[in-house]
Amino acid sequence: MSSRRIDLPLSEMPDKWYNIAPDLPRPLDPPLHPGTRQPIGPEDMAPIFPMGLLAQEMSSESWIEIPDEVRYAYQLYRPTPVYRAFELEKALDTPAHIYYKHEYVSPAGSHKPNTAIPQAYFNKLEGVKKISTETGAGQWGSALSMACRMFGLECEVFMVGVSYDQKPYRRVLMETWGATCHRSPSNLTNIGRRFLAEDPNHPGSLGIAITEALEVAVADESTKYSLGSVLNHVMLHQTVIGLEAMKQMELAGEYPDVVIGCFGGGSNFAGISFPFIRENLKSGKKTRIIAVEPKAAPTLTRGPYRYDFGDTGQMTPLLRMFTLGHGFVPAPIHAGGLRYHGSAPLASACLDQGLIEAVSYHQTACYDSAVLFARTESWVVAPETSHAVHAAVEEARKARETGEPKVILFNLSGHGILDLAGYEKYLSGQLEDYELPQEEIDKSLAAVPEV
Ligand SMILES: *Cc1c(COP(=O)(O)O)cnc(C)c1O
């Protein structure tokens, strides 16, 4: 019988993270100071991030050691399994072989602890007492709450208003791990008060929540800030996903023709794909790498590649990335974790340099595939993850037409057990798609500075 599940023993858990930066054909453009517009160094960011993480952010080493304390924490749920989706393949009547890497199994229910744990660890090492952060759907906030608790740090989370209202149980999860969670925009910060004055029920956005968390970190010396995606060190930490998956595919005796990840800021996508991009670059492999985003926040497929702020309040450095403009407020789709205006500079460089592809789908199509997945493979995936599932289903359908026994690997970034409101809407036929008019993108891009 061929294996439905491919496990790695604990001893095969990676002991190094993979840094793609030195392998890029063209080097990354540097982050720029928001005021002077000059390239910045680690000292400029030292007030908000610990030096250990800044060293990783700027590193030109290909492999970076994973500390023992982090590997000890990873053992709670790593190595995660890879599954062969036999039941989904049957339902699709496809010759394709579909595999998925199962990040669902972490205590917070997603890939986010892969970076939350080392981030909390490196902050603790430098005497930080508290970490402030933002969260969209609540996945990042809950992962960081858990990680802060592991290392005895306080955690303060600003949660995007629309998700705070739609997903109360994520807040309860954060509080269970001992964190404090505020609806963003809040009346605790300058930018929060500014948006609340406009609209007391403002839906919020990740860009606003980031500014709020940054304000809190800048105001207090023993507090640092943490970001759950986008930055180089976050992409780095997530590569444990792809490094494990590569060994597991080897155990399965296959190599993927297509690797797929859903794309918000880019971290789970980077995690599953960067090790495979390395093989494309170094060993002449020809795996197609596909980033999947929602049509309601089409950063990679409709945004330009240019310098922009990571947050609405223009406090972050300017990063060169695909962006819809730092003031962009996406429609309230259920995939809260994909509602971000920008994208990781490393993943953006990969797209610009032709190393990856990007596609976008409407949320109803993604729920079609998520429900099919639940009824075949049984796992109920996060609304974010449904985008990766749908892309895998589309690739498998194409394989049926062409008769190709193509090998597809996608990252199952998280579970949907706390996101059942979206499933309920879908099942009762009330889920809507949002067409994003070009004027809205143009308007938001008009506020992006020329650099
Ligand atoms: C946060 C999240 C995402 C999107 O973030 P990335 O940084 O793009 O990975 C995707 N899936 C799940 C389950 C998430 O929690």
Q: Is the CB of 344 under 6 A from ligand 1?
A: no
Q: Which of 105, 110, 134 to mutate to test the pocket of ligand 1 (most atoms within 8 A of CB)?
A: 110
State whether the beta carbon of 369 lies less than 6 angstroms from ligand 1: no
What are the residue ranges of helices labelled H in 303-356?
A: 345-352
Q: Which residues pair with 64 in a beta bridge?
A: 17
Domain ranges of the chain: 5-11+67-109+233-438
Give me the residue label for tokens 């604990």: 10
Residues in the chain: 451
**From atom 15 of ligand 1, which residue's Cα is the shortest distance away?**
139
What are the tens digits of pLDDT across the range 325-337?
A: 999 988 888 888 8
**Helix 139-150 / helix 168-176 crossing angle, nearest 10 deg:** 10
pTM as predicted: 0.97
Which string of b and e fits 196-219 if b means at least 16 CB within 10 Å?
beeeeebbbbbbbbbbbbbbbbee
The reported pLDDT for the residue numbered 334 is: 86
Phi, psi (rounded to 5 degrees) for 18: -100, 125
Task: Specify the pLDDT at position 315.
Answer: 87
- How far is ligand 1, taken at its centre, from the CA of residue 197, in Å? 30
Tell me how far CA of residue 356 lies from CA of 6, 52, 201, 376, 436, in angstroms. 26, 30, 39, 29, 24
pLDDT at 379: 98
428: CB partners within 8 A, 6+ apart: none
Answer yes or no: are the C-beta atoms of 216 and 190 closer than 8 Å: no
Q: Is 5-11+67-109+233-438 a CATH 3.40.50.1100 domain?
A: yes
- The two tokens of residue 241 are 């996903």
Q: Which atom of ligand 1 is nearest to the CA of 382?
A: 13
Q: Residue 180 is encoded by which pair of tokens?
A: 């404090």
In short, whether 271's Cβ falls inside 6 Å of ligand 1 is: no
Nearest Cα neighbor of 128 from 231, 234, 223, 33 is 223
CB of 291 sitting under 6 A from ligand 1: no
Q: Which of 100, 102, 105, 112 for mutating ligand 1's site (highest number of atoms within 8 Å of CB)?
A: 112
**Residue 337 Cβ < 6 Å to ligand 1:** yes
What pLDDT, on a 0 to 100 scale, did the predictor assign at position 271?
A: 98
Rounded to a whole number, what is the distance in angstroms from the first to the last CA of the chain?
58
Q: Which residues of the chain have pLDDT under 50?
A: none
User: Which of 413, 415, 417, 418 is the pocket-test mutation for ligand 1 (most atoms within 8 Å of CB)?
Assistant: 413
Whether 141 contacts 170, CB under 8 Å: yes
Compute, in angstroms, the gap from residue 263 CA to the centroid of ligand 1: 7
pLDDT of 28-81, one tens digit each?
Answer: 999 999 999 999 998 999 999 999 999 999 999 999 999 999 999 999 999 999
pLDDT at residue 86 in the model? 98
The pLDDT of residue 2 is 81
* Residue from 163, 384, 386 whose mutation best tests the ligand 1 pocket (most atoms within 8 A of CB): 384
47 preceded by cis ω (within 30°)? no
Q: Which residues of 246-280 are buried (b: 16+ CB within 10 A; e: fewer)?
A: bbbbeebeeebbbbbbbbbbbbbbbbbbbbbbbbb
CA separation for the pair 392, 290 (Å, rounded): 10
User: What's residue 339's pLDDT?
Assistant: 85
* Helices (runs of H) and strands (runs of E) counted in the chain: 19, 15
Q: Which atom of ligand 1 is nearest to the CA of 414?
A: 13
Residue 308 contacts residue 343 (beta carbons within 8 Å) = no
For the record, the structure tokens of 176 come out as 């269970």
Is residue 203 reached through a cis peptide bond, with omega within 30 degrees of 0 on the bond before it? no
